[in-house]
Homo-oligomer: A and B are copies of this chain.
Amino acid sequence: MKESLDFIYKEQRELSLLGGISALLGWDQMTYMPYKGTQERSKQLALISRLSHERFISDRLYKHVKKLSNQKVFEKLDESHKIVVKRLKKDIEKARKVPSEFVEKLSKTTTIAYAAWQKARNENDFSLFASHLEKIVELEKQYCEFIGLPGHPYNNLIDDYEEGMTVAKLEKEFSYLKSQLIKILDKIKTSKIYITQQKFDKTFDIEKQKKICYIIMNKMMLPKERARLDVSTHPFTTAIGDDDVRITTNYNRNNTLFSFFSTVHEAGHALYELGLPKGKFKYTVISDAPSLGLHESQSRFWENMIAKNMHFWNYFYATFRKIASTQMSDVSIEQWYLHINQVKPSLIRIEADELTYCLHVILRFDIELDLINEKINVKELPNIWNEKMDKLLGITPTSNRDGALQDMHWSNGNFGYFPTYAIGSIYAAQLFKKISQDNINTYEEIEQGNFVNILKWLRKNIHKYGRSMTAEEIMKNACGEGLNSRIFVKYLKDKYYSIYDV
Contacts and interface: CB of A to CB of B under 8 A. Distances in A.
Contacts of A17: 40, 43-44, 47
A32 B225 contact: no
A14 interface: yes
Nearest to A46: B17
A73 interface: no
A91 interface: no
Interface stretch (A18-26, A136-144, A461-469): A18-26
A39 interface: yes
A33 B20 CA distance: 13
Contacts of A36: 223, 225-226, 243-244
Nearest to A28: B24
Contacts of A226: 34, 36-37
A48 interface: yes
A159 interface: no
Nearest to A243: B36
Interface in A1-51: 14, 17-18, 20-21, 24-25, 28, 32-37, 39-41, 43-44, 47-48, 51
A84 to B, nearest CB: 19
Interface string A219-246: 0000111111010000000001111110
Contacts of A40: 17, 20, 240-244
Nearest to A33: B244
A37 B230 contact: no
A103 to B, nearest CB: 16
Nearest to A27: B28
B34 A243 contact: yes
Nearest to A227: B34
Nearest to A20: B44
Nearest to A230: B32
A337 B243 CA distance: 48
Contacts of A34: 224-228, 243-245
Contacts of A14: 47
Interface in A243-266: 243-245
Contact of A44 (B21, B41, B223): B21
A33 to B, nearest CB: 6
A26 to B, nearest CB: 11
B24 A47 contact: no
B228 A44 contact: no
Contact of A37 (B25, B35, B243): B243
A225 B115 CA distance: 14
Interface in A157-184: none
Contacts of A227: 34
Given A37-B241, A39-B243, A243-B40, A21 B32 contact: no
B241 A44 contact: yes
A28 B28 CA distance: 9
Contacts of A224: 34
A240 B223 CA distance: 29
A24 B40 CA distance: 12
Contact of A24 (B25, B43, B242): B25
Nearest to A31: B32
A39 B17 CA distance: 11
Contacts of A32: 32, 228, 230
A39 B20 CA distance: 13
A227 B32 CA distance: 10
A345 to B, nearest CB: 39
A39 B51 CA distance: 23
Contacts of A35: 225
Interface of A: 14, 17-18, 20-21, 24-25, 28, 32-37, 39-41, 43-44, 47-48, 51, 223-228, 230, 240-245
28 contacts: A14-B47, A20-B40, A21-B21, A21-B25, A21-B44, A24-B24, A24-B44, A28-B28, A32-B32, A32-B230, A33-B240, A34-B226, A34-B227, A34-B228, A34-B245, A36-B223, A36-B226, A36-B243, A37-B226, A37-B240, A37-B241, A37-B243, A39-B241, A39-B243, A40-B240, A40-B243, A41-B241, A51-B51
